[in-house]
Structure 1
């Protein structure tokens, strides 16, 4: 009993230490801020706190008090179905992780933060070395505050055996096994959180599908809610969709050792056929019992089974993992009752706090929002989030959206897209005018449209639509469109894409999956939050394709756009002004 009381007192000290340390520190240097009703400093007041704004990434306001022990090398036994082949043939399936622990008093129960992915010793350091991607940041910032940090290799990568299943069933089961192990150790308080970016930002969604009672929070950063969901938009495929599994990640399982034969597993074999098949069809080719793509869709099962919180982070200029992985998923999760917070800045495929990445953004693709995009308060933000959801603290973080517009302004919203937006409809001939082109669109022909001048500064926030009449010529069964919205004579604002077999929008195509004659293509752009300066007009260019989208062979011909009132550009407009914006703690330079 005495040991349990002592451990409980220690946990309370861990929870209070971050608050007491930085309040005492700031009282000595700067007291020009206030705390909210939850006992935490609101995000708009952090600019008045003494954050370190000179590093290559963010730090907590004050370092934690515990020394760092580790790493320990851990192998976890995983029970896979025999149908997965690979390591199941020899019944020795193992997932490997590196583990760092705080030097806390004996008997103290601590939570775990994990970064799970394929890159340890496959494109980055091994799992026993703090990774520059995120592990080093987590170990330096969180272990001294009483958190364990684990770097976990998915199957077929690092020191984990089996094959590179590319987000399939084997990988999902392996991640769930790691969560269970981390949550059931003698030193663990039973609470696990998973955080990571890109592939490592997808593993949190995979873990959440199982409803594991130890998984209390996930922080997906530019992660996938589904594999097909990412690489196909309205039936249109990104170039990498053809060979993402075997061409990009499949080689991770081949390293010249005695376990290379385990790469012969079910998911690896299926990957060869499903990329080309989905390219031709545009959908998930769920025929004859094929479940390759549906096995790799995570959002629906997360909504059904997960019982934890979500801190959703995505770059609004991320064209590696596009923003349609965040929207409308954010509102779906919010409507489903999850405790959820969002952080959405005008960075690319990056972490929120890396100036060395943010300063490389192109004009019209995030450059205008730098350096305000860099969130040097992010480590503190994560600490407050983990203290509440992993240490069962009593200071609950604000559950809101922090959205940055393309000019750098940050504001707080209760959801996104916001509920008070108004729709500005601009039909061709009534506010949207033909500037060049006859309406014929194909490999060498485009159509350029332009709006009237906006007299006042105007904010577009959400997913604009372009519902446009399109005629497919006789003998052709589809077509392909790409639209780009920009300031007339100025910067890019947003874009959208569609295979016309999917002219109703979405991911389902009727059978037979063909289209002829004239249809109204209901195109939706990727999420954007942008400012139109007063005195400027918008330009909309309609072409066959751009960026890295590849029209299917049946969709590569010419089509004709109806330049009539049935073709309508709709802009979601919000009313926000300077008083709605806040400035985070940022790095300044006299030349900026």
Structure 2
């Protein structure tokens, strides 16, 4: 039997359901409705009592949502506690992404690390894990964070706040998809939601599947993955109601067809994608927000991040830096923290204590703890600290949209070597006039005097007959060392996680202007932390030897 209450990594493919071995200690169907402890079911975390509850979504449909409720075992009758809520797709009893081989039903261990590291029940918090429509024990068609799933988030917050054991103060917690639901919770502006912790979210759902109308490989994988999760068989000893709800997608094949078809929509201005533009919907929101974001992470990339944070008007905290798709407490096989900063759960629980319990936590945590491209941590009041964007003119040029590197596939613009360390921060943007129809990729390189370089930012777009292309690159925080050059490559899409269709056309680029926000590292206020182990890996993967060309622009010197 799988070791109790541990977090495991799974492949995207859904595994076949494993039956209950003979003689295994399976919990009786329905017993979770009366309350189950760890002594009765080893899938329940120690110190907790588990119950299952059902409630309707808030959109007036017949969608029924399932919740696994974990409360402190010693909670006195009539006592009320604040509650940490997570709403997502990964809480099915048989497994998060596939069948995990459990011998009996029980609550998902997805956030066992929070329970243990945050000493959740000892501190007097509850934990509620709610299945979005179409997943786990909830009915309805999965909706890729559209109006339906947003209605589920609203219903979950309201339901938790109204329970007899709840103080009405709700905090949300998650990573990846269930971090996205935290952003949705903030956007919904519900008074009972007092704080959101969102690790590595997507800030606009369109960016998970396309970049400026160019399909991403993840745009193919993601819908199929969630379709498979939604159709996961659950466990034989789950309640009859739970098992019936879990079969909803199997009884309604139109659900997965709808999810697949709509994710093929290319136009970000379509109603489907505007409904899922979370950054735009964040305007005027003010729930206290604690986020993490890897600037070089390959999954939920920092796209529309700055827009979301600018539109959010409330308290903001964050850990930002050069890491992959990880949690704040994750460690590698050598025991090193993958983000590089200790004390994740101390900060998270102090954040919740302040906003859910009203405690004066008397902590000195920075609003933003940011690791730069050298592995050094600094403290900032806001991100980006510099807001003044200035444009530099790039060379005119042309390239062949062949989809392959080399030859006439791209051209470069070189800066003069910088005379001091200069940080490129915020979200670079390039605007250009074009002729020809096809695709364009823009890459930014940090180039040493001898020609060794690291590509640190990139973005792609379709080039159409309008003759105007405007591209926001990924948000970044990269320091160009003194003596190095910033180099811009413009050309065909020849690598990365995109599925493009090269046209073979010759694309001409004129009047290209790159907007940059720069900052001076000399004024940094150091913060605690070590280098993320992924930073060296990233530099190795994205290293490239370049031959210096004639400089044509100067990187803007930071102001102030």
CA contact (8 A) 1:420 1:574 kept: no
1:365-394 per-position Cα deviation (integer Å, ceiling 9, x unaligned): xxxxx8693221211111110111000223
**Structure 1 unmatched ranges of 5 or more:** 1-66, 287-291, 360-369, 473-477, 502-514
TM-score by length of 1: 0.69
Structure 1 residue 443 corresponds to structure 2 residue 403? yes
Is the Cα contact below 8 Å between 1:71 and 1:128 reproduced in 2?
no
Q: Secondary structure at the match of 1:283?
A: coil
- Residue by residue over 1:65-98, the C-alpha shift from the partner in whole angstroms, topping out at 9 and shown as x without a partner, is xx9532413122215657x5xxx3xxx7231324
3-state SS of paired residue (1:161):
coil
1:462 corresponds to which of 420, 423, 426 = 426
Deviates more, 1:568-577 or 1:260-269: 260-269
Is 1:293 equivalent to 2:273 in the alignment?
A: yes
What secondary structure does 1:293 align onto? helix
Count of aligned pairs: 462
1:301 deviates by 4.0
Contact conserved, 2:366 with 2:380, CA < 8 A, in 1? no
Alpha-carbon shift at residue 316 of structure 1 (Å) = 1.2
Moved more, 207-216 or 492-501: 207-216
For the 8 Å contact 2:134–2:248, the answer to whether it is kept is no
CA apart distance, 1:527: 0.9
Deviation at 1:454, TM superposition (A): 2.3
Deviations 1:3-23, CA, capped at 9 Å, x for gaps: xxxxxxxxxxxxxxxxxxxxx
Cα distance between partner residues in 2 of 1:527 and 1:443? 25
| Structure 1 residues 102-129: Cα deviation after superposition (integer angstroms, max 9, x where no partner) | 6355554210112222112232768944
Counterpart of 2:138 (choices 152, 160, 172) is 160
CA distance, structure 1, for counterparts of residue 187 and residue 523 of structure 2: 41
Deviation at 1:533, TM superposition (A): 1.9
What is the rounded CA distance, in whole Å, between the counterparts of 2:146 and 2:88 in structure 1? 13
Q: How far 1:421 moved relative to its partner? A: 4.6
Provide the aligned C-alpha RMSD in A: 3.4
Matched, 1:185 2:148: no
Distance 1:395 1:385 in 2: 8
Query: Matched residues in 2 for 1:358 and 1:346: separation?
Result: 18
Say if 2:415 and 2:485, in contact at 8 Å, map to a contact too.
Answer: yes
- 8 Å Cα contact 1:424/1:573 also seen in 2: no
Q: Distance in 2 between matches of 1:78 and 1:372?
A: 39
Cα distance change, pair 301–448 in 1 and its aligned pair in 2 (3 A)? closer
Q: Is residue 345 from structure 1 mapped to residue 321 from structure 2 by the alignment?
A: yes
1:117 aligns with 2:88: yes
CA separation in 2, counterparts of 1:205 and 1:422? Answer: 27
Give, in angstroms, the shift of residue 183 of structure 1.
Answer: 1.6
Q: Distance in 1 between matches of 2:422 and 2:275?
A: 42
2:307 is the alignment partner of 1:328: yes
* Cα distance in 2 for residues equivalent to 1:443 and 1:493: 21
In structure 2, the residue matched to 1:550 is 499
SS of equivalent residue, structure 2 residue 47: strand
Task: Give the TM-score normalised by the residue count of structure 2.
Answer: 0.73
CA contact 2:89–2:178 (8 Å) conserved in 1: yes
**C-alpha contact (below 8 Å) 1:76/1:181 kept by paired residues:** no
Aligned to 1:210: 188
With over 3 angstroms needed to count, the CA separation of the structure-2 counterparts of 1:471 and 1:352, relative to structure 1, is: same
Aligned runs of 1:320-399 on 2, under 5 Å?
A: 320-333=299-312, 337-356=313-332, 373-395=339-361
- For 1:523 and 1:186, the matched residues in 2 are separated by 50
Look up the SS of the partner of 1:296 in the other structure: coil
Deviation of 1:450 after TM superposition, in Å, equals 2.7
CA distance in 2 between partners of 1:119 and 1:399 (Å): 31
Alignment-derived partner of residue 4 in structure 1: none
Partner residue of 1:318? 297
> Using a 3 Å threshold, how does the CA distance of structure 1 residues 139 and 215 change in structure 2: closer, same or farther?
farther
Are 1:377 and 1:584, in contact at CA under 8 Å, matched by a contact in 2?
no
2:457 paired with 1:494: yes
Q: Is the 8 A contact 1:316 1:323 kept in 2?
A: yes
Residues 400-479 of structure 1: matches in 2 within 5 Å? 400-419=367-386, 421=388, 423=390, 425-428=392-395, 439-444=399-404, 445-472=409-436, 478-479=437-438
CA distance in 1, matches of 2:481, 2:513: 22
Specify whether residues 70 and 457 from structure 1 end up closer, same or farther in structure 2 by C-alpha distance, changes over 3 A only. Answer: same
Please identify which structure carries the higher helix content: 1
**Aligned positions of 1:27-176 closer than 5 A:** 69-79=47-57, 88=62, 93-101=64-72, 103-104=74-75, 107-120=78-91, 121-123=95-97, 128-129=106-107, 131=109, 133-141=110-118, 142-176=120-154
- Quote the residue 2:489 is aligned against: 541
Cα separation, 1, equivalents of 2:275 and 2:298: 24
- Kindly indicate whether residue 441 of structure 2 is the aligned counterpart of residue 482 of structure 1: yes
Cα distance in structure 2, aligned partners of 1:185 and 1:94 = 15
* SS at 2:327 equivalent: coil
In the superposition, relative to structure 1, how do residues 450 and 81 fare at CA in structure 2: closer, same or farther (>3 Å)?
Answer: closer
The CA distance in 2 between the partners of 1:587 and 1:253, in whole Å, is: 34
Q: Secondary structure at the match of 2:154?
A: helix
SS in 2 for 1:384: helix
What is the DSSP-based 3-state SS (H/G/I as helix, E as strand, rest coil) of the residue aligned with 2:521? coil
| Cα distance in 1 between the residues matched to 2:75 and 2:378 | 39
1:531 is aligned to 2:479:
yes
Q: Is the 8 A contact 1:130 1:139 kept in 2?
A: no
Which whole-Å deviations, capped at 9, do the CAs of 1:449-472 have from their partners, x for residues lacking one? 332222332221122233333221
